[in-house]
Amino acid sequence: MTQDTHNKNTDNTQLHNTADCDVRQRFFIQDSPVRGDVVRLSRSYAKTIAQKPYPEAIKRLLGEMLTAASLIIGTVKIDGRLSIQLQSADSDSLLNWAMAECDQDGIIRALASWKADNDEQIEAWDNMTQANEAFAELGAQGQGVLFINIQPDGGEPYQGIVERSHDNLADCLAHYQKQSAQIPTLINLASDGLQAGGILVQMLPRTFEETMEAEQNQDAGIDDDLWTRLTILTRTVKASELTTLDANEIIYRLYNEENVVAPDPVELTFGCTCSREKCEMAIEQIGEEEALDIVEEQGGIFEMDCGFCAEVYKFDKDDVQAIFAE
C-alpha cells in the first residue's frame, strides 16, 4: 500500500476523526453489500498486557486476539460478550490457553496461561517474538482447539468451534466466518507488543428484493469485480500500518476510490467484570467447611485475585460465615 492513493477522490469518502487509537470504526461501501470494521488498540491493550509478565510472543498473540474479538462482535447482533479462546491439546505445549473478550459496549480484556518452569522453557519463550510463534504452541495444524464463545445478556450461551485450518489466527477466523455463516470474509490482524490493530471486510448476501432491484435497474447493478478488487486491496495493508495508523487513515488509503460511508466509531476500553459478589458466589460453590479451611490455611484471610485486572478480594472467617448465613 503506497502513499499515492492518499491523493485520489477525496470526495468519495465520508470518514470521522479517530485520532483516539482505541476504537472500532465501521465502514460500508455505498450501494453494495460490503461492510467492514477497523480496530485500533493502544492504551486498552497496554493495560491488558501489563497485568502479567507475558513473554513477547504471547503479548502479541493477545493483541491479535483482542483485536479479533473486537472485530467479530461487530458482526453479531447481541447485547452481551464475545470471547475467543485458544486451548492447547498437547501437555508439552508452552502455551496452556489464552482468551480475549469484548462486550457490546467496547469493554475488552484478555488473559493467558503459559509454562516457564525451567531455564529451557524460559529460553524458548525468549527466542519467540511473533504472535504466530505463540499460536504455533497449540500444536501442528489441525491440533489445538479454538473457540468463539457468545454470551448474550440473559440469553443462552453459544460456542462455535473454529477449525485449525491455517497457521495464524486471522486466516482461521476468516475461514470460520466463511464456513459457518456462508459469508466471504477477509481478516488481517497485527500486534507489535505495544499497539494492535486489524481489519475485517465481509460481503453480505443480498436480499431477494435487492437482487430484483439490481436486475431491473442497470444503474443499481451488481459490481461483479467489487469483491475481487477489495480482496486485492485489503491484502496490501502492512502490519505496521494496522498498528500505527489512524483507523480512518487505513480505510482511506485502501478504499479511497470506492464510495465509503462510516458511522460514528465505537470506543474500546480495558475493563473487567470481576466483583466481590462474584467471589462470594464462587465461595458458595466451594462450600462453607472447605472455605473456612482455606481461611485457616492462609493465616486468617482467604484471598481471591482476578487474573484479568489483578484486583484482590479478601475474606476472613466472619465474611465466609456471613455468606452462608444469608
Quick one: 213 and 128 in the same domain? yes
Q: Give me the pLDDT at residue 181, please.
A: 79
Q: Give me the pLDDT at residue 311, please.
A: 84
> Could you give the number of structural domains in the chain?
2
- Does residue 147 surpass a pLDDT of 70? yes
- Does residue 91 surpass a pLDDT of 90? no
Instruction: Please state, in angstroms and rounded to a whole number, the distance separating the CA atoms of residues 116 and 122.
Output: 5
Strand order in the sheet with 107-114: 158-162, 145-152, 80-87, 95-103, 107-114, 269-270
Of 10-24, 45-59, 61-75, 130-144, the poorest mean pLDDT is in 10-24
Quick one: 281 and 142 in the same domain? no
Quick one: 233 and 314 in the same domain? no
Q: Give me the pLDDT at residue 209, please.
A: 47
Where a domain ends, among 270, 291, 315? 270
Quick one: 168 and 112 in the same domain? yes
Q: Give me the pLDDT at residue 44, please.
A: 95
Please say whether the beta carbons of 144 and 135 come within 8 A: no
Q: Give me the pLDDT at residue 208, please.
A: 43
The angle formed by the CA atoms of residues 64, 23 and 87, to the nearest 5 degrees, is 25
Is residue 139 situated within a structural domain?
A: yes
- How high does pLDDT run on average in the chain? 87
Tell me the sheet residues that pair with 98: 86, 112
Is residue 10 situated within a structural domain?
A: no
- Span 93-113, mean pLDDT? 95
Of 57-61, 89-93, 186-190, the poorest mean pLDDT is in 89-93
Q: Give me the pLDDT at residue 16, please.
A: 52
Q: Give me the pLDDT at residue 302, please.
A: 87
Q: Which domain holds residue 145?
A: 17-270
